Amino acid sequence: MAGKMTAAQGTGILLVTANVGSLFEDPENLQKIWLREFYQTVQSHKPHFLAVHCQEVGGKNYEASMSHVDSFVKELLSSDAMREYSRARVYLDENYKSQEHFTALGSFYFIHESLKNIHQFDFKAKKFKKVVGKETYSETLESTPSLEKEKFPQDYFPECKWSRKGFIRTRWALADCAFDLVNIHLFHDASNLVAWEKSPSVYSGTRQKALGYALDRITDQRHEKLPYFVFGDFNFRLDSKQVIESLCSTAAMQTVRAADTNEVDKLIFRESDNDRKVVLQLEKKLFNYVYQDVFRENNGTSLLQYDKELSVFKDRLHELEISFPPSYPYSEDSSQGKQYMNTRCPAWCDRILLSPSARDWAVVCFSSPSSAG
């Protein structure tokens, strides 16, 4: 997902967020395709300042795939498509051996050679410093002064022993406009069956708690309050109970229980006619809905009414109009790139959000804001 803004004085800013976990498990295929599309986006928009927030750097099986991260970074920094970006800052949280701190977040910032006046904030010295050259930081992010990194408290999501969820904050000054950029990864839905149990789901509450924590931290009294942009993998989901009741409104539900525990193992929704065709099978990690086109038609607009998690923060976060289909979970088979996997209900997990002051600041400093996915 990308959001583009063009400054009135001619400075273009491009914000990009991407969960890149699968790229490191298939570097010869998926990573090359992703990089090609990324370069085309950069060439199309030609931003002066480019911020790329990545989640799950190193892949889901990071112990085996983290070795591919270095080549990915070298490719980005040295590629022909990025040759006009003479300065860069790369922050990689890849120290997976430090489980109490590891978030697998990666924040990439590229500055075009034509942009002369840009500074980055030093949170320890509490002052802005001019950005010169290209620098990459990894493993020691906790002591890196040009960012703030936090992992969410473990008790926020106790069923996931080694959660990698957290956020990284950087602060920038472009001419007379200073702002924060926050890379964030919130908790996922561990089970479709649990998500279905009530509205809103228990997972929605966990994400709400974590996002509130992050917003409180970036607006506390330690530093001057500035406009902020929060973009990353929020893992926001459609209200499972309500969307399933809508998609299967004329279907009968069958409950299948595990023989040994008597716990619900599967839900099967069958049409009342049409030879009792199965329209949805729901399991812990299965969401097999037969009419998948509903998530793509008209960019899935009919389902936005079930996208409710951001409404809790309506006074603290704003979003441009969504004009793209659900961003998750697309197939990881490159030959089926427009299909969704049958693992989760498609949803708009990847977002670019801005604070009220950032919205007002963008109106003053920028013209023609737009969002695309």
Per-residue pLDDT tens over the stretch 186-215: 999 999 999 999 999 999 999 999 999 999
Separation between Cα atoms, residue 233 and residue 365, nearest integer Å:
27
Beta strand residue intervals within 85-185, DSSP E: 85-92, 106-112, 118-122, 127-130, 134-138, 148-151, 166-174, 177-185
Residue 11, pLDDT score: 78
Residue type for 181, please? L
Is the CB of residue 355 less than 8 Å from the CB of residue 227?
yes
Separation between Cα atoms, residue 95 and residue 58, nearest integer Å:
10
My answer on whether omega of the bond before 27 falls inside 30° of 0, hence cis, is no
In the predicted model, is pLDDT for residue 367 greater than 50? no
CB atoms within 10 A of CB 113: 11
Task: Grade residue 362 by pLDDT with cuts at 50, 70 and 90.
Answer: low
Q: pLDDT tens digit string along 109-137?
A: 999 999 998 999 999 999 999 999 999 99
Residue 2, pLDDT score: 59
Smallest Cα–Cα separation from 50: which of 70, 24, 76?
Answer: 76
- Mean of pLDDT over the chain: 91
* DSSP character at residue 330: B
Is the CB of residue 242 less than 8 Å from the CB of residue 347?
no
Residue 273, pLDDT score: 84
